[in-house]
Amino acid sequence: MMKLVVAVGSANPVKVEAVRRAFSRFWEAEVRWLEVDSGVPAEPFGIAAIEGAKNRARKALIALNADFGVGIEGGIFHLFGNYYCAGFVWVERRDGVYGTGTSGWFECPGSLLPELLSGTELGDLMAGLSGKVDIKREEGAIGFFTRGVVNRVDLYTHGVLMALAKFVAAERWPG
């Protein structure tokens, strides 16, 4: 069996590991990464997170001439009067077929919203709150808030698995 080449549009080790874990559940995959510009603000809201994930996936796919490109973009989403933190995932195959998914969502702490809404990245706020400079490259906000029970790799692995559903389903996918 040939090994798939999977390109991740980020140098963040959390995102690279999440992609490796998800793809390795189904295929033998060589995961490569490349830092790319997402084309969206550092802390994207709603549709901007989706655009960022798509941009990351497509740029990495092309630049690394891979079988699949994967973009993961953490963002803030407004739903039913609340703000939530989640990772949006875009997985695109070489032929242009794509699948999307999200990580689990968790409520955004209200005290952080004013700074987030003014453009400060969640990772920077969490670095100050936790005292860990690289928290976004480690356990992330969810790891801090759940006392390590769920970490950012877990969260993003879930999102990648959701985006892979149509590829894993293959002929079972109804269209």
User: pLDDT tens string for the chain (175 positions)?
Assistant: 679 999 999 999 999 999 999 999 999 999 999 999 999 999 999 999 999 999 999 999 999 999 999 999 999 999 999 999 999 999 999 999 999 999 999 999 999 999 998 989 999 999 999 999 999 999 999 999 999 999 999 999 999 999 999 999 999 999 8
- Predicted structure pTM score: 0.95
The domain that holds 97 is classified in CATH as: 3.90.950.10
The token pair that represents 20 in the structure block: 């490796």
Among 105, 101, 41, which residue's Cα sits nearest to residue 70? 101
Q: Per the structure, how many domains does the chain have?
A: 1
The DSSP secondary-structure symbol of 80 reads: T
- Beta bridge mates, 31: 6
Residues spanned by the domain of 37: 4-172
